[in-house]
Amino acid sequence: MKKYQLGEFEEIVMLTVGVLYDEAYGVSIKTEIESRLKRNVSVGALQTALKRLEEKGYLKPQDGERTEERAGRPKKYFRITALGKKAMEYSKETRESLWNAIPEVAWKLKMV
C-alpha cells in the first residue's frame, strides 16, 4: 500500500501534530520534536514536510489568530485528517509486524 507510506521525518511530524493537537503550528511542532527527540530541526525541513503532508491529504491547515508580533499574519495550525490517521496506522502496523518477525535468536548476538 504505497499510498500510505510515510518517511521517518514525516512520521515524526505527524505524531507530533497528534501530540500537540490544538496547538500544532510550525514553531510548537519544531520545539516539541527538538525537546522530545533531542534532535535539531531546521525550519525549512519542517515547512517542506508540512507542505508535503498537506499535499498528500494527511494534514489539514487552519489559520489561527492574527498577532502584532507576527506582523498581522495568522498562525497556521495543523490537524490530522482521516487519511492521515490511516497512514499513521499503516506505518505503526508495518513497524510492529517487522518487530514481531525478528526471531529471538537475533537478539542474542555476541559482541565481537
- For residue 66, being part of any structural domain is answered with yes
pLDDT of residue 111: 64
**CATH code of the domain in which 47 resides:** 1.10.10.10
Instruction: Specify the residue for cell string 501534530.
Output: 17
In a domain, 35, yes or no: yes
Structural domain harbouring 38: 2-100
Give, for 99, the enclosing helix (H) or strand (E).
helix 82-101
Mean pLDDT, rounded, of the chain: 91
Answer yes or no: is 44 within a domain: yes
In a domain, 111, yes or no: no
28-83: pLDDT as tens digits: 999 999 999 999 999 999 999 999 999 999 999 998 877 777 677 888 999 999 99
Q: What is the pTM of this model?
A: 0.86
